[in-house]
Amino acid sequence: MFQIEAVKSSVQRLIIVGNWKMNKLLAEARQLVSRLRELTPAVPGVQVVLAPPFTAIHAVKEALAGSDYFNLAGQDLYWEGYGPFTGEISAPMLRDSGCSHVIIGHSERRQHFGEDDQGINKKVRAALQHELSPILCVGETLPEREAGQTDTVVTRQLLRGLDGLNEAEVGRIMVAYEPVWAIGTGRAATVEQAEAVQGRLRRILRETWSRAPGEPTTPILYGGSVTPVNAGELLNSKHVDGALVGGACLDPEAFAKIIQSAQTCVRAS
Ligand code: PEP
Residue 12 pLDDT > 60? no
Predicted pLDDT at 261: 96
Cβ 178 under 6 angstroms from ligand 1: yes
Cα distance between residue 53 and residue 21, in whole Å:
6
In sequence order, what are the beta bridge partners of 222? 177, 243
Torsion of CA 84, 87, 88, 89, to 10 degrees: 110
Cβ 139 under 6 angstroms from ligand 1: no
Residues 199 and 239: beta-carbon distance below 8 Å:
yes
Residue 61 Cα to chain centre, angstroms: 18
Residue 269 pLDDT > 90? no
Residue 119: pLDDT band (50, 70, 90) is very high
3-state secondary structure of 45: coil
Closest C-alpha among 97, 29, 95 to residue 63: 29
Cβ 226 under 6 angstroms from ligand 1: yes
Q: Which residue's C-alpha comes closest to atom 2 of ligand 1?
A: 246
Kindly tell me the burial class for residue 13, based on how many C-beta atoms sit within 10 Å of its own C-beta (0-12, 13-18, 19 or more).
Answer: buried
**How many C-beta atoms surround the C-beta of residue 70 within 10 A?**
21
- Between the CA of 108 and the centroid of ligand 1 the distance, in Å, is 10
What's the pTM value of the predicted model, to 2 decimals?
0.94
3-state secondary structure of 229: coil
Residue 24 pLDDT > 80? yes
226, 227, 235, 255: which to mutate for ligand 1, most atoms within 8 A of CB?
Answer: 226
The shares of helix, strand and coil residues in the chain, as percent rounded to the nearest 5, are: 45, 15, 40
Cβ 179 under 6 angstroms from ligand 1: no
103 CA closest ligand 1 atom index: 3
Helical spans, DSSP H, in 188-230: 191-208
Cβ 19 under 6 angstroms from ligand 1: yes
Cβ 242 under 6 angstroms from ligand 1: no
Q: What's at 222, amino acid-wise?
A: Y
Across the chain, mean pLDDT equals 94
Predicted pLDDT at 7: 42
**Residues 6 or more apart from 96 whose CB is under 8 A from it?**
none
Read off the pLDDT of residues 142-189 as tens digits, 9 standing for 90 and up.
Answer: 999 999 999 999 999 999 999 999 999 999 999 999 999 999 999 999
Read off the pLDDT of residues 57-109 as tens digits, 9 standing for 90 and up.
Answer: 999 999 999 898 999 999 999 999 999 999 999 999 999 999 999 999 999 99
Predicted pLDDT at 129: 98
Read off the pLDDT of residues 241-257 as tens digits, 9 standing for 90 and up.
Answer: 999 999 999 999 999 99
Cα distance between residue 171 and residue 175, in whole Å:
11
Catalytic residue positions, numbered: 106, 178
Percent of the chain at pLDDT > 90 equals: 90
Predicted pLDDT at 4: 40
174, 178, 258: which to mutate for ligand 1, most atoms within 8 A of CB?
Answer: 178
Residue 32: pLDDT band (50, 70, 90) is very high
Closest C-alpha among 183, 192, 185, 173 to residue 240: 192
Residue 231 pLDDT > 50? yes
